[in-house]
Amino acid sequence: MIIMLAAAAQADPLSDLHLNIIPRTADEIARIAAVTAPVDDFTQAARFEDLPAGAATVRANRTADAFSQASGNISFEDELTFKVGNGLFRKIWVSAPSSNLASDGLGPLFNARSCQRCHIKDGRGHPPEPNDDTAVSMFLRVSIPGEYTDRSSDIEGYIATLPDPTYGSQLQDFAVQGHPAEYQLGITYTENPITLSDGEVAQLRHPSYQAENLGYGPLHPDAMLSPRVANQMIGLGLLEAIPASDILAGVDPDDADGDGISGRANIVWSEEYDQPMLGRFGHKAGKPSIREQTAAAFSGDIGISSPLAPNGAGECMVAQVACQDAPHGDGDDRVFEIDDEILDLVTFYSRNLGVPVRRKSDDLQTLRGKQIFYETGCISCHTPSFVTHRLEDQPEQSFQLIWPYTDMLLHDMGEGLADHRPEARATGREWRTPPLWGIGLTEQVSGHTYFLHDGRARSLLEAVLWHGGEAEAQRDAVIAMPKTDRDALIKFLESL
């Protein structure tokens, strides 16, 4: 259900409240427009393109730790802060009560015992695979259609949903001793062959998800389920530092320019600032800042409370009485299971995970693939470059020319990828354009090549072929182009 309501009467929801900004000068605005204009020379890599994160770019690393390096321009003192945050990111939480008060508070329901357990090596999560005992980092979001509240009425075009009355907004597949887990994830696949030009055949696997062995009774009859695999963590601070105005410049909900692309901004509620803000993070841009994304993950994934998510029972709902009454790790001197200091340290770590330098950007096949990427219209959603805000207190992210290949907007990706579950202003067919930087290192870091929000695509080519909706024309062009051009396109993506 969508109702158009008045915009917020509070401060401008798009004013980047999470950043301490130094305003741009007129000269800087002109320089930025010139340096971020789409390139038209495909005979060589663009100037600075090999440094996708600007001065924050990190050196090449041939190990699985390629995504675990601090921003290339971080100071010696702040690198220590980064390492402390890393320790907390990897920290294994235990159930309360515990002799180690700094580590208790797990659950009672949870999907993981640490942040690192989902974001393995700071990369993409692992969807389950038959006969594979690799740690799985995938879960189901859940919600039901709801009515508008006073809070959501501040947001124009807000799509109202509510948590499932028994299971909340996320299903947890683990629980501390003495409590049942909420469910087990069941997945079945069917294969669908796609015939490409030159006789090449690609297989797309269609997933079907089931919430099995429910521990607290049935789901609500109107429950909407959506699978999630953890995103890679690199470059988050730079994405957070892109001016909201630059992101909104790409908004075209009615396709006024007639290019078939209708990007929309997700406007979400900020728990920290108690007002609407531009959504940036998550598969549907459901969180406005890294700090709020971090607090939500601590609560939903691990069951850890914080100043922004104060429920010591985590995702336990009122109907889960034993879970609500279980011992929790809050109530001591910290008040919550993690305090502001720990939340800030993990946020700092997440903000400063560096983006690796480009590879083989001047290779002739890579350059041909780049030309195809541009001329096919992929940059209509995967915007190549931005310049971040000048920032008073974040030198690593301040005024950097970056190449993330995302517009940070929502796009209708067609029925094939639809989860039919709204999130704030995002519909059940819309997803945020994911950044492509680092995508060619996925196998090196994560040990697999599974892409999209639920890992259904087993290769970059499959990921492209799943594009529909606004990207249908681009997908069809990839199907029809000569195999040599398809191979070049994939080569370009692998160089990012």
The per-residue pLDDT for range 363-403, each reduced to its tens digit, is 999 999 999 999 999 999 999 999 999 999 999 999 999 99
For position 364, what pLDDT does the model report?
Answer: 98
The CA distance from 306 to 214, in Å, is 28
For position 388, what pLDDT does the model report?
Answer: 98
For position 131, what pLDDT does the model report?
Answer: 64
The CA distance from 130 to 489, in Å, is 30
Read off the pTM. Answer: 0.94
Cα dihedral across residues 155, 161, 162, 163: positive or negative: negative
Instruction: Say if residues 478 and 464 touch (Cβ distance below 8 Å).
Output: yes
The CA distance from 410 to 426, in Å, is 7
Mean pLDDT (the chain, rounded): 92
For position 453, what pLDDT does the model report?
Answer: 96
For position 6, what pLDDT does the model report?
Answer: 32
pLDDT tens digits along 254-270: 888 888 899 999 999 99
| Listed residue (118, 68, 69) closest to 93, CA to CA | 118
Mean pLDDT by 10 residues, the chain (496 residues): 33 79 96 94 95 97 97 97 98 87 88 94 87 74 77 56 94 95 94 95 95 96 95 98 96 88 93 94 97 97 95 91 88 84 98 97 97 97 98 97 98 96 94 98 95 96 98 97 98 98
| Listed residue (261, 300, 296) closest to 281, CA to CA | 296
pLDDT tens digits along 55-89: 999 999 999 999 999 999 999 999 999 999 999 99
Q: Domain spans of the chain?
A: 21-495
pLDDT tens digits along 115-137: 999 999 999 998 887 666 565 78
For position 130, what pLDDT does the model report?
Answer: 67
